[in-house]
Structure 1
Amino acid sequence: MTDKVEAAAQTMIENLEKKTGKSLDQWIAIARASGFEKHGQIVKYLKTEHGFTHGFANMVSIKARETAASPKTADDLVDNQYSGKESLRPIYDTLTAAIAQFGDDVVLAPKKAYVSLRRNKQFGLIQPSTKTRVDVGINLKGMDADGRLEKSGSFNSMVSHRVRLTSPDEVNEELINWLHQAYDAA
């Protein structure tokens, strides 16, 4: 189903350029330059000033508002995750410095709410879950939960285990070894 939705969206983007002579990115810039911020205002502007059909106006408005509100770089995503939780950033920095030592193929892939740790596939994630805690998700299939290495439960279905951290001092050899095991298996 997702493939069909993505294919339909891509067709609509291609048709927008064919019908108007401008790309989606150009229309996003025009929509932003209009000064309108609300979805309905942008839709109305594109329909009345540029003769858009509702479908095209709706799509451009959604894309313009998404890109305006979303961070532009990986650093922006991480900064946003720790906004209001600055005291937790040293935990993230300590973890990523240690993980970077695993190999040249480690990829830190920031998302809106967490940073995915990847090699050939995801082997873990780092997420500032509360104002006082960072959760480290780790893919350790077949390993029993023990002590601070918990089953992930409802935390995140993309990992098998979780470790809760409240201080950079808790980023110790034991945790790094678990992450390295997951990295080796990825």
Structure 2
Amino acid sequence: MGSNAPSGLTERQEKWFASVRAGLERETGRSLEDWVAIARACPESKPKARTTWMKTHHGLGLNRATYVFSVAFPDQDRWSAPDDLRAKLWRDPGQAEILAAIEQAVGGLDGLVVGQRTGYTAFSRKTQFAALRPIKGGAALGLALPADTAPELAPVAKDGWSERLTARLVLASAAEVTDRIKALLAQAWARS
């Protein structure tokens, strides 16, 4: 996969990520090197502004644009430094305790893949089954379960972490990661 791919991916995600690169020239008519040259000419400096510019001016979608920028500016590639992403995201001690409790809850699940992203920590098996994101006053736990699975779950309209995560609950402290939450995590894992 190389250094310009996210770490903490499932085998399925790794194949998909590789397909982004493989299909770039075939589907756009430009090589990776051509796209890198275009990316280096981008007047924007922030990641979201860069990908918006790439789509607006060159028609390149988010996933491909993100990949191209990671190659064009490897020193700014956050994917290759998951520990740095984690430290930055989980600075608050209370939120970090919630993350540790969730990691302990899923730690014994077979085939577990933990992936650190910019805004959340993902938990996968073959596919993503949960994610945890810090929010004001705690953390939001997204699960790949129907929201009506349990009364404590609410539906997720759009949270940006995965279309598979359709239920969500808010955790105010690590003490709220009870056996019930562990059972919901295991149920989501079993479906993945």
Displacement after TM superposition at 1:170 (Å): 0.4
Secondary structure of the residue aligned to 2:168 is: strand
Q: Is the Cα–Cα contact under 8 Å of residues 145 and 167 in structure 2 kept in the other structure? A: yes
Q: String of CA shifts for 1:15-42, please: whole Å, max 9, x gaps.
A: 69xxxxxxx8xx9xxx9xxxxxx966xx
Task: Tell me which residue corresponds to 1:75.
Answer: 83
Query: Quick one: percent identity of the two aligned structures?
Result: 17
Match of 2:137 among 132, 141, 153: 132
How far, CA to CA, are the matches of 1:172 and 1:107 in structure 2? 22
The within-5 A match list for 1:37-186 is: 62-63=69-70, 66-71=73-78, 72-83=80-91, 85-103=92-110, 105-128=111-134, 130-141=135-146, 144=148, 146-156=150-160, 157-186=163-192
Displacement after TM superposition at 1:144 (Å): 1.1
How far, CA to CA, are the matches of 1:62 and 1:96 in structure 2? 31
Q: Is the Cα–Cα contact under 8 Å of residues 39 and 62 in structure 1 kept in the other structure? A: no
Q: Is the Cα–Cα contact under 8 Å of residues 154 and 169 in structure 2 kept in the other structure? A: yes
Distance 1:178 1:146, change over 3 A: closer
In structure 2, list runs of 5 or more residues that go unmatched.
1-18, 44-67
Q: Is the Cα–Cα contact under 8 Å of residues 24 and 32 in structure 2 kept in the other structure? A: no
Distance 1:64 1:102, change over 3 A: closer
How far, CA to CA, are the matches of 2:154 and 2:124 in structure 1? 21
Q: Is the Cα–Cα contact under 8 Å of residues 155 and 166 in structure 2 kept in the other structure? A: yes
Higher relative contact order (CA 8 A, sep 6+): 2
Distance 1:76 1:146, change over 3 A: same
Displacement after TM superposition at 1:67 (Å): 3.2
Q: Is the Cα–Cα contact under 8 Å of residues 115 and 121 in structure 2 kept in the other structure? A: yes
Displacement after TM superposition at 1:146 (Å): 4.0
Displacement after TM superposition at 1:77 (Å): 1.6
How far, CA to CA, are the matches of 1:14 and 1:162 in structure 2? 41
In structure 1, list runs of 5 or more residues that go unmatched.
17-23, 32-37, 41-60
Report the TM-score when normalising by structure 2. Answer: 0.61
Displacement after TM superposition at 1:145 (Å): 5.3
Distance 1:68 1:146, change over 3 A: same
How far, CA to CA, are the matches of 1:170 and 1:65 in structure 2? 43
Distance 1:134 1:151, change over 3 A: same
Q: How big is the alpha-carbon RMSD for the aligned residues of Structure 1 and Structure 2? A: 3.6
Q: Is the Cα–Cα contact under 8 Å of residues 130 and 144 in structure 2 kept in the other structure? A: yes
Task: Tell me which residue corresponds to 1:53.
Answer: none
Q: Is the Cα–Cα contact under 8 Å of residues 123 and 183 in structure 1 kept in the other structure? A: yes
The size of the alignment, in residue pairs, is: 146
Q: Is the Cα–Cα contact under 8 Å of residues 129 and 164 in structure 2 kept in the other structure? A: no
